[in-house]
Amino acid sequence: MSMAAGEAVARLVRLAETDRRPLRFFLDGTERWALAGDTILSAVLSVAPALRRSEFGPESRAGFCLMGACQDCWIWQEEGPRLRACSTPLAEGMRLLTDAPGDWP
């Protein structure tokens, strides 16, 4: 299940600091844009309705504590370890997945 594909509704709407440098990243293989200084969580939620789906059911997850303590904001990289989205800065060209790589059919 790819939450980024075909869904245009963002959870966050940027109202300020729109003059920061744009950063390109990929979410489930689709090119997306955020701004320098964004965390992965704010970048993803500015282009998608949720960060990932729960591994225990069909519910969508969007972070909970927002300070790196609750384990709710893990997101996967196409290659490499998963990341804590609420406290990891977005980097140019990051390739992120809303589902664990093994969850794909």
Task: Report the run of H or E that residue 40 belongs to, with start and end.
Answer: helix 40-45
β-strand 30-35 against 60-61: which pairing, if any?
unpaired
What whole-number distance in Å separates Cα of residue 84 and Cα of residue 89?
10
Q: Are 95 and 31 spatial neighbours (Cβ–Cβ below 8 Å)?
A: no
Q: Are 35 and 22 spatial neighbours (Cβ–Cβ below 8 Å)?
A: yes
Provide the residue-wise pLDDT of the chain in tens; the chain has 105 residues: 344 444 458 888 888 888 999 999 999 999 999 999 999 999 999 999 888 877 777 888 787 777 777 888 889 999 878 999 999 999 999 999 988 776 544
Question: Is the Cα dihedral 44, 45, 47, 49 positive or negative?
Answer: positive
Q: In the CATH scheme, what is the code of domain 22-99?
A: 3.10.20.740
The pair of three-digit structure tokens given for residue 13, joined into one six-digit string: 């709407």
Tell me the domain boundaries of the chain.
Answer: 22-99
What whole-number distance in Å separates Cα of residue 38 and Cα of residue 27?
15
What was the pLDDT predicted at 51? 85
β-strand 22-27 against 74-77: which pairing, if any?
unpaired
